[in-house]
């Protein structure tokens, strides 16, 4: 199974995981249940990822943090470290960039560059365009994806902001498995632990 399938489930130039400098205020997002469908290419694979989360103004930054953490996680086991991302806001668009490089200097560039743009089209619609360009690491090449987020109604009574469900990614036209329950705050906690441990382990060998 490609490494990306684990992303939604779960030091020198490296900042502590989730210590990201995001804009203090994000564009307006309508509170309620949001469906997020990502389609794109990752390496040689076509992929579709479906998530549904109960969101509000407090959980929107947490969603962005876990997405950045997932990008770090996708490369950290390639002996690569990520510099703190640069995230800016201009009007209703939030743009981000993150450079990940090999611990050891190499004649050939080694690592991955991430670029993304989050367009708050309206309080009930958000579109995320992302590109990742890998250099001489496993799964190298260019990845491109578009995630369309749409407000679909009020949150179920059983859910509070941050709660949701995630489907395992579907590859190359295949069908996704049944969804699992998830929580953005718990996702951030787990990913923070994994990334900190991996960064510590990598630093011990360099």
Q: Write the pLDDT tens digit of every residue in 65-112.
A: 999 999 999 888 888 889 999 999 999 999 999 999 987 666 677 899
- pLDDT for 125 beyond 70: yes
**Percent above pLDDT 70 for the chain:** 86
pLDDT tens readout for residues 25-70: 999 999 999 999 999 998 788 999 999 999 999 999 999 999 999 9
Q: Which of the four pLDDT bands, split at 50, 70 and 90, describes residue 205?
A: low
Please, what is the average pLDDT of the chain? 86
Q: Which of 6-10, 11-15, 167-171 has the highest mean pLDDT?
A: 167-171
Contact 40, 144 (CB under 8 A): yes
pLDDT value of position 10: 38
Provide the pairing of β-strand 86-90 with 180-183: unpaired
- pLDDT for 8 beyond 80: no
202: tokens are 């990598």
b or e along 143-177 (b: 16 or more beta carbons within 10 Å of the residue's beta carbon)?
A: bebebebebeeebeeebebbbbebbbbbbeeeeee
Q: How far apart are CA 139 and CA 87, in angstroms?
A: 25
Q: Higher model confidence: residue 106 or residue 114?
A: 114
Distance from chain centroid for Cα 177 = 20
Q: Which of the four pLDDT bands, split at 50, 70 and 90, describes residue 1?
A: very low
Range with the lowest mean pLDDT among 97-101, 167-171, 174-178?
174-178
């Amino acid at each position: 199974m490609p490494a990306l399938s684990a992303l939604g489930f779960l030091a020198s130039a490296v900042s502590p995981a989730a210590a990201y400098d995001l804009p203090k205020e994000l564009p307006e997002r309508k509170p309620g249940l949001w469906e997020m469908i990502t389609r794109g290419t990752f390496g040689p694979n076509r992929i579709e990822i479906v998530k549904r989360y109960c969101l509000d103004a407090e959980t929107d930054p947490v969603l962005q943090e876990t997405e950045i953490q997932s990008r770090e996680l996708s490369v950290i086991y390639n002996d690569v470290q990520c510099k703190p991302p640069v995230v800016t806001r201009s009007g209703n668009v939030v743009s981000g960039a993150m450079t990940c490089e090999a611990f050891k200097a190499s004649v050939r560039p080694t690592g991955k560059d991430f670029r993304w743009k989050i367009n708050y089209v309206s309080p009930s619609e958000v579109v995320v365009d992302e590109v990742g360009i890998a250099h001489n690491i496993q799964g190298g090449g260019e990845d491109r994806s578009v995630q369309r987020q749409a407000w679909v109604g009020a949150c179920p009574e059983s859910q509070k902001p941050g709660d949701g469900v995630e489907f395992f990614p579907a590859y190359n036209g295949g069908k996704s498995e049944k969804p699992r329950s998830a929580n953005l705050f718990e996702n951030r906690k787990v990913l923070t632990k994994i990334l900190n441990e991996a960064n510590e382990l990598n630093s011990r060998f360099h």
